[in-house]
Structure 1
């Protein structure tokens, strides 16, 4: 329980939210971490916000030109020094015991790839009562069915998995990473709600249209996974079907917000 955790955080025009995201890392009960923030040429006040936060464990890197979220994550992964790799976007949040509980879960069970449940908040940070989880165990085939893990909840063992890189201009780059990791290890669910996902922020992935997301999925299977057009289209359709199943089986709307963390 003392190995270094490298936290991967791409940023682009999230000056309004990034300080809160960083504070959720600073508040972790597990303190042996490094936070690698890679800014993708933000045009807002992200620079000023980050520079006001002083902690030797934070490394702030800037892309020379706007390159996209995949390129930012790739760069952070190349710079990472930790055994454990964790992900947090610059508008999302962790609960204070997220790292400690997840590492303990993985070490106890000898898991090398895991994710947790999370809850949704709106653009203003208000809790919506929506809790999201997924299958207890995701095999490689299961990961091809759908991108079950929320990016902000994933952790893997870099000593076992190695360096993961995807196409720099790829959308759905988090899904592309999980597909690569799942070839080496199954992904296991820690069924505790330890993170908060901000939905509906202008410009975020969750605000994109349905047809746009379908195009991203097809490109992922066709170009990154190098499948022929028929297989890429079939996998895209399969993803849509399993996405409907996830909403029915694994997305809960709770009236009592305090039950979400249980």
Structure 2
């Protein structure tokens, strides 16, 4: 059984996939398995993955295009590692990411941990200030802004169990983290920058004005909050999102 399971959804990611693969292959920590689910790509993503002959890489082909949450769930079902972490097919880890995170999880006896990450353009050149892992996260403060990013977080599946993503939501990562933090008191911050996030202009998560309704449904449908309470947290999320990405504050 590997110590770490890496979960990656892939859909038409050929432009950046090779860099992402290299960032995993170059990790100083080597006791991992990497479960990549291709979500019916129409480019040569599958061929790029298959070029890398490593028994730790497990390629899964989705029977139909079901979105990132569905693809992650297919990988999670087969994951056997103690620690679960996520990496999208266009993001990047520094070589020490897994080693630092696993050591931190063990030292702190953490159930969830997250680190800083660099916010870059499509060429991995820093665009705005690094996102800082500067305080512990809990269910209450995660309602107002999602401080846990998939590419820089890790959780202990043996202690908290696997948490699957709700399918059909564009905010599936936020719902998943909220459900995990219902089970534990806090997630621990590791204030080191060990990952790079591509701030792609066509990214769903970057178009905040287009997903306010989806964020409202996080609270209304998935957290079962009242309409008034859902509107309150949606407003907080929108304000914090503006602060998080605005160059005025970064």
* TM-score in same-fold range (> 0.5): yes
Answer with 224-233 or 192-201: which moved more. 224-233
List aligned pairs for 1:1-262, cutoff 5 A: 4-128=3-127, 130-185=129-184, 186-202=186-202, 204-208=203-207, 210-246=208-244, 252=250
Q: What is the number of residues matched between the two proteins?
A: 247
Instruction: Quote the Cα distance in structure 2 between the aligned partners of 1:222 and 1:112.
Output: 27
Instruction: Quote the Cα distance in structure 1 between the aligned partners of 2:60 and 2:201.
Output: 24
SS at match of 1:119: strand
Identify if the C-alpha distance between structure 1 residues 240 and 129 changes in structure 2 by more than 3 Å, giving closer, same or farther: closer
Cα RMSD over matched residues? 1.8
SS at match of 1:17: helix
Instruction: Quote the Cα distance in structure 2 between the aligned partners of 1:124 and 1:242.
Output: 26
* Structure 2 match to 1:260: none
Instruction: Quote the Cα distance in structure 1 between the aligned partners of 2:107 and 2:78.
Output: 28
Could you state the TM-score of these two structures normalised by the residue count of structure 2?
0.92
Unaligned regions of 5+ residues in structure 1, if any? 253-262
Answer with 4-13 or 118-127: which moved more. 118-127
Check the 8 A contact 1:166/1:224 in 2, yes or no. no
Check the 8 A contact 2:7/2:34 in 1, yes or no. yes
Instruction: Quote the Cα distance in structure 1 between the aligned partners of 2:172 and 2:75.
Output: 13
Answer with 134-143 or 51-60: which moved more. 134-143
Check the 8 A contact 1:118/1:195 in 2, yes or no. yes
SS at match of 2:15: coil
Check the 8 A contact 1:134/1:246 in 2, yes or no. no
Instruction: Quote the Cα distance in structure 2 between the aligned partners of 1:199 and 1:247.
Output: 10
- CA offset at residue 211 of structure 1? 2.2
Could you state the TM-score of these two structures normalised by the residue count of structure 1?
0.88
SS at match of 1:170: coil
- CA offset at residue 166 of structure 1? 2.9
